[in-house]
């Protein structure tokens, strides 16, 4: 009875403080322009976080990273062993400003254009969904629990400042055996997020794709002569196209590790079949802003979305880029590529296969070719019956929300590196409705913020309770 009364009091505090939290804590944080390469905004956001956690953290350490600083803080709870909480405070840059209905870092309360006007008031801001809102909502719950001396388990907070560039700082840090000792008391890893769909159902994904990002740069020693000379000199642009076709062509990989289709486990097939019975794929496409797909069959398009390896050219530059035409042979071509995969392969295996293709082509051209690995981490999974997954499903149930379990996310996350280097399971989840990550009008639904905060409270409580039963 005493425990029930304690829950009621804490939930009342969370409910009664929600409006004040949004206006005095969340919106000011969302107004900080912390896109990854905006150093001034990054430092402001970092200092904001340091100030916020200073009152309830026993230890805070800041590390200067490859691009931006990251922070590790320890918070003492009733259980000495710790749950690692991963959070990112950087965001994507702003593009297509003319498509935003309010200032990208204004954190204004607006109603989205149809059909999303049915959501009612939303806070519009870069980072509102991905993922400054869940970050601050979670910290706010920790602050309340610490203030009431009711934090049931210790926490290790990890704030990533360059996740949108592949987390190079964190990945390098985790490769250092001495630095990994910081996490010896950690049991699992959790990434707070707002993962309800437009109908209010909680979406929980049991893994992530791996990702390899590379740059290919091809150049020649020539000036940029008239194209009449193209029969006798190397053309870096043509060579680049040729190389890309040795890696992937006609939407199919030409390298062994990704050439064969992904092999599904029994559990994956079971979860996919259940999903396809329940999912409204058109709503998923609409929320993501998708109007065209490669595969016309919507169910096959969804399976491809989850499991088919992707070859994406995000940047391709060469030749005359101004208005009009100019017939000459360029002396440089460059492209940035990201490859996402669910296959059980290592980054080294994938990169070496690409390097073999590049080296073989280099023997047939006089162009100079540079292949650079930018970032990479493997795919990962967590079991459905793990304490992490059960805790999140129970936290949604506590608030009357059903959970839809996906076998994998089509996205990639550096948390897979945490699983590999630290041996920790990890999961991403939580309540709240948002969308348009990386796009114009990124949003979080105003009324769902309370449920987001409450879900984090229940998750911390459920995880510690289940953990005690598993002898944490």
Domains in the chain: boundaries: 2-206+382-469, 209-262+308-377
Report yes or no: 380 and 299 within 8 Å, Cβ to Cβ: no
Report yes or no: 24 and 140 within 8 Å, Cβ to Cβ: no
| Whole-number pLDDT of residue 470 | 67
Q: CA–CA separation, 205 vs 37, rounded Å?
A: 29
Q: CA–CA separation, 150 vs 147, rounded Å?
A: 8
Three-state SS at 199: coil
pLDDT mean values, one per 10 residues, the chain (472 residues): 68 97 98 96 97 96 93 96 96 92 97 94 97 97 96 97 89 88 94 92 93 96 90 93 95 93 91 86 72 82 92 92 85 96 94 96 94 91 92 97 93 80 91 94 98 97 87 65
Residue 221 has, within 13 A of its CA and on its CB side, a CA count of 2
Report yes or no: 48 and 441 within 8 Å, Cβ to Cβ: no
DSSP type of residue 24: I
Three-state SS at 143: helix
pTM: 0.85
Three-state SS at 422: helix
Report yes or no: 453 and 137 within 8 Å, Cβ to Cβ: yes
Q: CA–CA separation, 60 vs 43, rounded Å?
A: 16
Please give the CATH topology (third level) of the domain spanning 2-206+382-469.
Aminopeptidase (3.40.630)
Q: Would you report the helix, strand and coil content of the chain in percent, each value rounded to 5?
A: 40, 25, 35
Q: CA–CA separation, 406 vs 427, rounded Å?
A: 12
Give the helix ranges, DSSP H, for 130-261.
Answer: 132-147, 168-174, 177-180, 236-247, 256-259
**Nearest to 155, CA basis, from 180, 172, 138, 134:** 138
- CA–CA–CA angle 356, 359, 361 (5° rounding): 110
Residue 137 has, within 13 A of its CA and on its CB side, a CA count of 35
Q: Residue 277 phi/psi, 5° resolution?
A: -75, -30
- CA–CA–CA angle 299, 303, 279 (5° rounding): 50
Give the residue carrying structure tokens 């809102």. Answer: 133
Calculate helix-pair angle for 448-469, 2-16, nearest 10 degrees.
150
Tokens of 416: 């897979």
**Nearest to 22, CA basis, from 125, 130, 100:** 125
**Nearest to 90, CA basis, from 59, 67, 106:** 67
| Whole-number pLDDT of residue 434 | 96
Domain at 209-262+308-377: CATH code: 3.30.70.360
| Whole-number pLDDT of residue 472 | 65
Three-state SS at 109: strand
Q: Could you tell me which residues come within 8 angstroms of residue 293 by beta carbon, excluding any fewer than 6 positions away?
A: 285, 301
Q: CA–CA separation, 332 vs 224, rounded Å?
A: 9
Report yes or no: 78 and 146 within 8 Å, Cβ to Cβ: no
């Amino acid at each position: 009875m005493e425990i029930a009364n304690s829950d009621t009091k804490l939930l009342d505090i969370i409910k009664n403080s929600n409006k004040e939290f949004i206006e005095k804590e969340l919106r000011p944080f969302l107004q900080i322009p912390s896109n990854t390469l905006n150093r001034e905004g990054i430092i402001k956001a970092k200092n904001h976080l340091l100030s916020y956690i200073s009152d309830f953290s026993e230890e805070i350490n800041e590390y200067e990273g490859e691009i931006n600083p990251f922070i590790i803080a320890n918070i003492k709870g009733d259980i000495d062993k710790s749950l690692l909480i991963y959070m990112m405070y950087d965001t994507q840059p702003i593009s297509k400003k003319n498509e935003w209905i309010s200032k990208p870092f204004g954190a204004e309360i607006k109603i989205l254009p149809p059909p999303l006007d049915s959501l009612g008031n939303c806070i519009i801001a870069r980072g509102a969904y991905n993922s400054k809102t869940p970050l601050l909502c979670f910290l706010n719950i920790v602050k309340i629990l610490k203030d009431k001396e009711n934090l049931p388990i210790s926490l290790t907070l990890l704030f990533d400042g360059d996740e949108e560039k592949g987390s190079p700082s964190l990945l390098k840090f985790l490769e250092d055996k001495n630095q990994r000792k910081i996490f010896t008391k950690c049991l699992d890893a959790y990434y707070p997020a707002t993962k309800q769909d437009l109908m209010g159902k909680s979406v929980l994904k049991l893994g992530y794709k791996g990702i390899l990002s590379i740059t290919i740069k091809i150049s020649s020693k020539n000036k940029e002569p008239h194209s009449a000379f193209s029969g006798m000199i190397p053309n870096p642009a043509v060579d680049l196209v040729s190389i890309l076709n040795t890696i992937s062509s006609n939407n199919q990989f030409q390298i062994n590790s990704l050439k064969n289709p992904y092999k599904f486990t029994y559990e994956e097939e079971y979860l996919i079949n259940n999903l396809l019975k329940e999912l409204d794929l058109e709503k998923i496409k609409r929320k993501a802003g998708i109007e065209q797909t490669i595969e016309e069959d919507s169910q096959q398009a969804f399976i491809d979305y989850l499991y088919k390896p992707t070859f994406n050219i995000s940047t391709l530059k060469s030749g005359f880029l101004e208005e009009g035409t100019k017939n000459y042979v360029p002396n440089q071509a460059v492209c940035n590529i990201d490859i996402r995969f669910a296959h059980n392969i290592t980054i080294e295996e994938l990169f070496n296969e690409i390097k073999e293709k590049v080296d073989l082509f280099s023997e047939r051209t006089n162009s100079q070719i540079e292949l650079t690995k930018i970032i990479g981490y493997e795919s990962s999974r967590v079991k459905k019956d793990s304490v992490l997954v059960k805790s999140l499903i129970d936290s949604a149930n506590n608030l009357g929300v059903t959970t839809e379990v996906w076998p994998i996310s089509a996205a990639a996350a550096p948390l897979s590196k945490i699983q590999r280097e630290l041996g920790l399971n990890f999961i991403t989840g939580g309540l709240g409705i948002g969308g348009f990550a990386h796009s114009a009008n990124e949003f979080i639904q105003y009324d769902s913020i309370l449920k987001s905060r409450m879900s984090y409270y229940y998750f911390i409580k459920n995880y510690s309770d289940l953990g005690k039963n598993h002898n944490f």
